[in-house]
Structure 1
Amino acid sequence: TVNCAASSGAFNTSEVATANLVTATVTMSGASAGNYTLGATGTSVSSTSRTASANITPAPLTVTALNQSMVLHGLVPSLTFKIDGFVNGEGSSVLTMQPTCTTTGTSTSPVVVTGYPITCSGATAANYTFTYVNGTLTITYAAPGGACDGDASHQVLQPINTTGTMSVFKMGSTVPTKFRVCDASGASIGTPGVVTGYGLVAAANSSSISVDEDAYSTTPDLAFRWDPAGQQWIFNQSTKSNPSLNKTNTIYYFAINLNDGTSILFQYGLK
């Protein structure tokens, strides 16, 4: 029995090349290996080197644009990226040209549910090819609690309490539900589409609550609307013959969903 095997070959360079020289060691083994020779005629060796040609192709790299966020009408943040796929202990220092990233979002862009794409391109390296993955620039309203046209941003406003004693209204009254969202300069935003959803998310019995808010008789609304005089969003929520708000001694929990992907959560009781 004779077995013949080639060990791993060695390229004469690690660079990308076509028809590159490869040197491999060929070895015979087995009970009858001594009856055979490898190599040039007249030699008797059990191991020898042989050469062949093979191609070295570029290794793939993936450039991923990192997601970023900014406040409406604020400064566009620095656009950054990460690169995956380097081989042989190499890193970004082997790039002959770094990728650059851009976005369609600007300081004057409105808030949109989908955000704005961040795209990268232009990277070069001798031994690599590049694939690009987009990121997203998300434009949001100013953080909750900040100054917003003289009131708190991104939270429900009076007469519904956000801290301290929970507001409790008399069943059948109209509850003025108001809020503001602002840009980076503290200006209240009333562009159409700010509110993407509103609804009751939970309810809990609470026999110990008592009415601590005035009874409002404002004409009820069917949905949130922009109030230009007050520079705020308002929904005069009727609790009279309301199929969802129909129990006294109950705490109701609500969510206002906004087009920047955030929500305003609040609660009040009905007695």
Structure 2
Amino acid sequence: MRTNNKHTENGKKQVTAKKTSRALKPISFISAIILASACLLIPTTTLAPSVDAYADSRAAAYSVGGIDTFSQSIAENCAETVPTETADKKAEETTAATKPTEKATKPTTAPAKENKTETKATTKPVEEKEEETQPTESVQTYLVNIDNPDTSYSPSRVTLSDYDRAKLERLVMGEAGTMGYEGCALVAQSIRDAMNLSGNTSIDYIIDEYKYYAPTNIEPNSDVKAAVSYIFDNNGSAVQHRIICFYTGESKWHETQNFIISCGNVRFFDLAV
């Protein structure tokens, strides 16, 4: 009986020991799972400051028997875990805080105005060329048309002195004062052509050389003055032919000369060649 009791006591102790052993095994198994999970969850880069901390945390995990004690041991032996992204953000915030705010120091430059060149009709004004005033050939006009004009007739201009003009106007007045403007112009042309032929512009010489007999004491009228100005001042001509002599009445000698024109009963001639 004693043996049985002893066996029973031993058995009880064994049973108790077995129970204790069985109770501890699940705890150790759970602890191992938690430890393994913790090791997987915590990156090695978050353990600080060195590998010794990792060894200490591992030893503590083997020596503890409860989850609370294990968690406390891990907290005491491991550095604070900070996610990498959070650390980067804090670093950026710190850098941003320490950097002085850069103010725009560059002067604001207004956009350059476009240099618009106004094109004004730039177009420069066309300079009007001054018309070259070329001496226009004076077209000789004649008071009376004749049947036998001399196209080569070109009398030279004669300039009269005051004496010669006054006496010449009186001579024309005595010879043709009643013949009108054309008759006075024919007589004045005969005197000028005689001056050109003789090369002498003296009225006294012409009277004596060409045998003028009309009086020179009568004041000239307007027809005479206008006719003398046309022939001498304008170098005009009554007809397009030279006239040297004229007569009224009958003269055989005159009729032997080159007849040009008659005005009333007065007949005008050029010298026959």
Which of the five TM-score ranges fits, normalised by the shorter chain? under 0.3
- The TM-score, its normalising length taken from structure 2, stands at 0.15
Richer in strand (by share): 1
Question: What is the TM-score when the length of structure 1 is the normalising length?
Answer: 0.15
* Structure with a larger share of its residues in helix: 2
Q: Which structure is larger by alpha-carbon Rg, 1 or 2?
A: 2
